Amino acid sequence: MRARKRFGQHFLHDPAVLDRIVGAIGVRPQDALVEIGPGRGALTRLLAAEEPHALDAIEIDRDLAGLLRAEFGQVPSFTLHETDALEFDFTALARARGRKLRIVGNLPYNISTPLLFHLLEHVGAVEDMHLMLQREVVNRIAAHPGSGDYSRLTVMLAPWLEPEALFDVGPGAFQPPPQVWSAVVRLTVRPEPAFAVSPKFAAIVAAAFSHRRKTLRNALRGLLSAAQIEACDVDPGARPETLPPEVFNRLAQAAA
């Protein structure tokens, strides 16, 4: 099976990297695993060998789905969902499995951020995620305020997920090799959100980071006045990339 550019496919084949991912996951007998984009099944084989309670795989490519169905169709715990992960109902699956899900995946670079936001909509149904992403995306997820990688993605994930960058993976681990490095990240769902998230949180964060070089006063114009920003004990002249996530939430509460 050749990789298809329209699906952003880069098949992971390095045995050492595959073993390291499985070791990082630490599969337990009671786990309901969900693999996003199993591709040729290299990681699927190792996950199935761990004998979890359930192993659901989501694959959009019908030809790859046929190969997966032929190889794993007789594995009792295995279920294949031939569909788009961006449209998949993870909450319904968790309900069907009777437990929270553990998400695993080598995510296509072209949908990684939209898919993370989609998973965020189902965060109550998820225990943790172990994801292979472009290294710069992992750097953004795990960034701290004031760093060059700190971004909208960092802030949006922060209330619900605790990130841990695990290890980098070079292009040679894939076929075909991508032009960039990848990295594996563990995202653990917090038992409770880090703070009570305002309904306006996403809108404030999006506006603040729409122009990174703008000050809050300019970026949030039309949403909050300089006086309202100051009332939140925030400098209107501050730049968004210097502020921790809870400050954006305070601003969102003022905009409500």
Mean pLDDT of 74-84: 96
Q: Crossing angle, helix 42-49 and helix 15-25, to 10 degrees?
A: 40
Measure the CA–CA gap between 107 and 105, rounded to whole angstroms: 6
Mode of pairing for the β-strands spanning 174-175 and 11-12: antiparallel
Task: Examine the pLDDT at 217 and tell me if it is beyond 70.
Answer: yes
Evaluate the omega torsion of the peptide bond into residue 176 and state whether it is cis, within 30 degrees of 0. Answer: yes
120 lies in the same domain as 222 = no
Measured in Å, how far apart are the chain's first and last C-alpha atoms? 51
The tens digit of pLDDT for each residue in 127-165 reads 999 999 999 999 999 999 999 999 999 999 999 999 999
Q: What is the pTM of this model?
A: 0.92
128 lies in the same domain as 71 = yes
Q: Last residue of a domain, which of 134, 156, 189?
A: 189
Mode of pairing for the β-strands spanning 161-169 and 182-189: antiparallel
160 lies in the same domain as 237 = no
177 lies in the same domain as 223 = no
Per the structure, the count of domains in the chain is: 2
Does a structural domain hold residue 196? no
Answer for the pair 180, 171: CB distance below 8 angstroms, yes or no.
yes
Other C-beta atoms closer than 10 Å to the C-beta of 176 total 12
179 lies in the same domain as 207 = no
The tens digit of pLDDT for each residue in 58-72 reads 999 888 899 999 999
Burial class (CB in 10 A: 0-12, 13-18, 19+), 44: buried
State the pLDDT confidence band at 179, using cuts at 50, 70 and 90.
confident
149 lies in the same domain as 208 = no
Cα R_g (the chain), whole angstroms: 20
Mean pLDDT of 167-172: 95
Does a structural domain hold residue 195? no
- Helix ranges (H only) for 33-107 are 42-49, 62-72, 90-97
Does a structural domain hold residue 130? yes
Residue 3: per-residue pLDDT = 47
Does a structural domain hold residue 137? yes
Q: What is the CATH number of the domain that holds 237?
A: 1.10.8.100
Range of the domain at 207: 201-255
14 lies in the same domain as 135 = yes
Residue 142: per-residue pLDDT = 96
The tens digit of pLDDT for each residue in 4-45 reads 444 445 678 899 999 999 999 999 999 999 999 998 899 999
More confident residue, 13 or 57: 57
